[in-house]
Amino acid sequence: MQTRRLGDSDLEITRLGFGAWAIGGGDWAFAWGRQDDADSIAAIREAVDLGINWIDTAAVYGLGHSEEVVGRALQGLAHPPLVFTKCGRVWDDSRQVGKRLQAASIRAECEASLRRLRIERIDLYQIHWPEPDEDVEEGWAECARLQAQGKVRWIGVSNFNVGQLERARAIAPVTSLQPPYSLLRREIEPEILPYCRAHGIGVLAYSPMASGLLTGTWSRERHASLPEDDWRKHKNPLFQEPRFSRTLAAVETLRGVAAGHGASPGAVALAWVLGNPAVTAAIVGARRAGQLGELVAAAGLTLSASERTAIEAAIA
């Protein structure tokens, strides 16, 4: 799989990375339902076998559990992938998630992530959300200190707007931004993507298939069968009516384009995201082995201008 340099770093990353949100398991605010750890480890190792060379996780995914599973999956690998994780979300004994960017909290989170991941240094450490906004500078300055001390190699942010990127860059360089970006979420196109391209900030697109909605595998029956602890059922606006039914109809256009390339609708949705020159790479999740193979083709799939126009018109 081809690679690209991530921002101002020395990291050459594949166009697709493994997303470890869902493998955090159930019983927390943004869970994807119950998850078998053995399936998760098999999915991670398959991703590595397919050539994917980085994993993106976060401390809050499963309230530490995703990082623990990633740490277990890395054991014994001859060529372990790069590990990206995030800070700024903490939880208490009742599993309630809070927002915190104070320096002491960031440092404690980093140490805890290193233990769970069983590694000595994090390849990319990211502020998960710019919340509370008034603490962005303090949190970012602490990330820069962690980098200077060798706890992390590079530092980035997630879900920042242009103003917040400017404030961060006044303190230390921003290697990367991780924003939501898909055919269904294009808010970053007018300002954020051009800003990142102009300032050499790498872009790691998350939810490029809209939490799975653009894979072509959904139906009203599958939606109805989602477990109650899957956050998509009640909290993800893309999965609420009437938007859900409208998107199912639009996905048929993806299916038609995919057929012409011998690919899946999900691969076409990914190829659309990767076709934006400001995007360095995209994050794809998997919960068991066998789910990534058809998506890897997206890294080498080029859509024509007419295909992009037809897809965008259908989704719009």
Task: State the catalytic residues.
Answer: 61
Strand extents, DSSP E, 48-175: 54-56, 82-87, 89-91, 97-99, 122-127, 152-158
| Residue 175, beta-bridge partner list | none
Please give the Cα distance from 47 to 293 (Å, whole number).
8
Whole-angstrom distance between the N-terminal and C-terminal Cα of the chain? 31
d(CA 29, CA 27): 7
Q: What does the alpha-carbon distance between residue 131 and residue 136 come to, in Å, rounded to a whole number?
A: 7
- Tell me which amino acid residue 232 is: R
Query: Rounded distance, CA 68 to CA 72, Å?
Result: 6
Residue 55, beta-bridge partner list: 18, 83
